[in-house]
Amino acid sequence: MSDPDVPPSALSGDVTLPAVLRDVEPVRSVRTPIRLEYSVTAGSAAEAYLRAYAEKRIVGHRSPVDGAVFIPPRGVDPRYGQETAEEVELAHTGHVGSFCVTHLPIPGRSDLVPPYVSAWIHLDGSAIGFLGLVAGCANEDVRIGMRVRAVWKPDGELGPTSESILHWEPTGEPDVPFERAGNRAWRAGGPDGRDGRQERGDA
Amino acid sequence: MRDVAVVATAQHQVAALTGTTEVQLMVPLLNAVRDAIGLTQADIGFTCSGSSDFLAGQAFSFVHTLDAVGSVPPICESHVEMDGAFALYEAWVKIQTGAADTALVYGYGKSSPGSLRDVLALQLDPYYVAPLWPTADAVAALQARLLLESGVSGAGELAEIAVRSMRHAVGSPHAVRSSADVTVADVLAEAPVADPLRPSDIAAEADGGCAVVLAAGDLARGLCERPAWIRGIDHRIDAHGLGVRDLTRSPSAAAAAVGAGAGDDRLDFAELHGLYTSQEAILVRELDLDDDLLVNPSGGALAGNTTMAAGLMRIAEAAARISAGEGDRALAHATSGPCLQQNLVCVLEGE
């Protein structure tokens, strides 16, 4: 955080004032604090999703158009603008669709020492990935297609928040082949006519 | 100029949306307008929306809301941080250029999670005025005070506007404030909120959304039995600084009405986006409306004000009445900014 009493570097040099203002102390900056408070309602889809975490469950929504499952659920299939309402309980296992090694700390996560791995986790049965942390192995060993499972907080510490999952750790199973890893939902109903579920061999 | 018409409208407005996100609000509305005329998103040439992320306090909510539109295959889309009526203007221009023959326009607002009166302070000058955090009602009261003290309007006239809005709103499905038996005396007996403005002088705050489909020429005739043709549309702006304007006037509203050709022929009714009775009083004069003209048959924005949609709702209300045969020629008005700073006038007509 920058020191609020130190003017920005762009203003730290001499300011040339008109003659009438020469003998007065220059105004080098103006602070106009802005604070707005909101009581956000998560909405029915997000609320059910968050509450499920407190019960050690992960839920998504199934599209009525082609059966693709979205996580987190937003109550809509964004491809077609169609409402989704069918809740689907998802497995606690999946694979890494993509990842990056992050060198910045997360506020409030002093236990997480940079560099750590942020990844798109593609749960088994889900058509899209969602963000998670990968731990339990060396950063260098994380790869696209690696199978992972959720590591939950102790039961007594679970809450209606995605932070109930501490991170994702390798299962040791064989990798998902690179060409089959990552998003597949976006192909469903596409020109090639392939269905997202068939693509991943789901039921 | 190409003939462009409103061929479908849908809206939803309640005092406060609970348990529903802006996306979930818009999905049924967008489906309703497309379904009403048998179009899918793939048939829409241009999509344009108006909203503000400051209302619900969610960054990029305007991008999120595209989830409700459906964007596979990819769509041609734009957004204005203004009322949806101004998005409609952009869509109308797009159709005029020939780049599209149809357009989906929507505006929405969910201001209930925050304090709208404080949020609106941030549209004022960021260095000189906004740091003082004047509430929207206080800024409007400066205008109302000038109106009363200059003798242009009386308190009774403002109360009559409030009563007329509440009576017209009875039976209006989207109004959130209505009353069949309220009287001028009742309104004048209310304790002021920001003197001289009383609760009934201030538009009833609401959450909601509105969606409209525009189409050109014979396409419009094929989609809708009685399209509401946009005969003229114009928007103008006055200076931003409140101190440099005569707040009892709104020259931009008058100029927009002339630009839209509002006075060229007889009007059957007008739908005005006045956020305060004092603003409606100014608009009636600036738009040069006849004394006996039917104003705000829906109750107007006073009966339900969804920030970022109330102006588009005026166009939708006017178009729906024309399409239903309840009028032939109407004026719809939308405003933006403090104290009627920017104004849009749209003249709609049935064939």
Residues of chain B with Cβ-Cβ distance to A83 below 8 Å are 24, 27-28
> Could you tell me which residue, A1 or A5, shows the higher pLDDT?
A5
Q: Does B18 touch chain A (CB under 8 A)?
A: yes
Is the same domain home to B216 and B89?
yes
Contacts of A191 (CB under 8 A, 6+ apart): none
How much is the pLDDT for A10? Answer: 56
Residues of chain B with Cβ-Cβ distance to A46 below 8 Å are 21
Is the same domain home to B219 and B233?
no
Is the same domain home to B344 and B332?
yes
Strand spans (E) along B217-272: 228-237, 269-271
Is the same domain home to B137 and B285?
no
Each residue of A131-169: pLDDT tens digit? 999 999 999 999 999 999 999 999 999 999 999 999 999
User: Would you mind telling me the total number of residues written for chain A in this entry?
Assistant: 203
CA angle A43, A44, A49 (to 5 degrees): 100
For residues A80 and A102, give the distance between their C-alpha atoms in angstroms, rounded to a whole number.
34
How much is the pLDDT for A182? Answer: 86
Q: Is the pLDDT of residue B326 over 80?
A: yes
Range of the domain at B345: 229-349
**Quick one: pLDDT band at residue B349, thresholds 50, 70, 90?**
very high
Q: Which of A123, A121, A162, A163 is nearest to A142 (CA)?
A: A121
Nearest to B68 among A30, A42, A81 (CB): A81
Nearest to A78 among B56, B71, B122 (CB): B71
Is the same domain home to B219 and B75?
yes
**Quick one: pLDDT band at residue A24, thresholds 50, 70, 90?**
confident
Contact B19 A44 (CB under 8 A): yes
Is the same domain home to B17 and B108?
yes
Q: Is the pLDDT of residue A196 over 60?
A: no
Q: Which of A50, A44, A124, A47 is nearest to A83 (CA)?
A: A44
How much is the pLDDT for A12? Answer: 61
Q: Is the pLDDT of residue B220 over 50?
A: yes
How much is the pLDDT for B332? Answer: 98
**Quick one: pLDDT band at residue B266, thresholds 50, 70, 90?**
very high
Residue B291: inside a domain? yes
Q: Is the pLDDT of residue A1 over 50?
A: no
pTM: 0.90
Contact B114 A38 (CB under 8 A): yes
Each residue of A97-131: pLDDT tens digit? 999 999 998 888 788 889 999 999 999 999 999 99
DSSP state of B149: H
Nearest to A76 among B27, B41, B56 (CB): B27
Residue B120: inside a domain? no
The CATH number assigned to the domain holding B79 equals: 3.40.47.10
Each residue of B63-85: pLDDT tens digit? 999 999 998 889 999 999 999 99
- The amino acid occupying position B2 is R
Q: Is the pLDDT of residue B235 over 80?
A: yes
For residues A84 and A77, give the distance between their C-alpha atoms in angstroms, rounded to a whole number.
6
Is the same domain home to B103 and B213?
yes
Q: Please state the rounded mean pLDDT for residues A86-97.
A: 96
User: Mean of the per-residue pLDDT values for chain B?
Assistant: 96
Q: Please state the domain extents for chain A.
A: 44-178
Q: Is the pLDDT of residue B24 over 70?
A: yes
Residue B123: inside a domain? no
**Quick one: pLDDT band at residue A199, thresholds 50, 70, 90?**
very low
Minimal-distance CA residue of chain A relative to B17: A41
Is the same domain home to B236 and B196?
no
Residue B41: inside a domain? yes
Is the same domain home to B328 and B234?
yes
**Quick one: pLDDT band at residue A192, thresholds 50, 70, 90?**
very low
Burial string for B150-186 (b: 16+ CB within 10 Å, else e) reads: eeebebebbbbbbbbbbbbbeebebbbbbbeebebee
Is the same domain home to B156 and B177?
yes
For residues A203 and B258, give the distance between their C-alpha atoms in angstroms, rounded to a whole number.
64
Is the same domain home to B109 and B15?
yes
Q: How many CB atoms lie within 10 A of CB A61?
A: 24
Q: Select, from the ranges A67-81, B118-132, B286-300, the one with the highest average predicted confidence (pLDDT).
A: B286-300
How much is the pLDDT for B72? Answer: 85
How much is the pLDDT for B19? Answer: 82
Residues of chain A with Cβ-Cβ distance to B122 below 8 Å are 34, 36
Is the same domain home to B39 and B137?
no
Q: Tell me if B6 sits within 8 A of B348, measured CB to CB.
A: yes
Residue B154: inside a domain? yes
For residues B18 and B25, give the distance between their C-alpha atoms in angstroms, rounded to a whole number.
10
Each residue of B95-131: pLDDT tens digit? 999 999 999 999 999 999 999 999 999 999 988 898 8
Q: Is the pLDDT of residue A8 over 80?
A: no
Domains held by chain B: number: 3
**Quick one: pLDDT band at residue A28, thresholds 50, 70, 90?**
confident
Q: Tell me which residues of chain A, numbers 75 to 94, contact chain B at a CB-CB cutoff of 8 Å.
A: 75-83
Q: Is the pLDDT of residue A194 over 50?
A: no
How much is the pLDDT for A7? Answer: 55
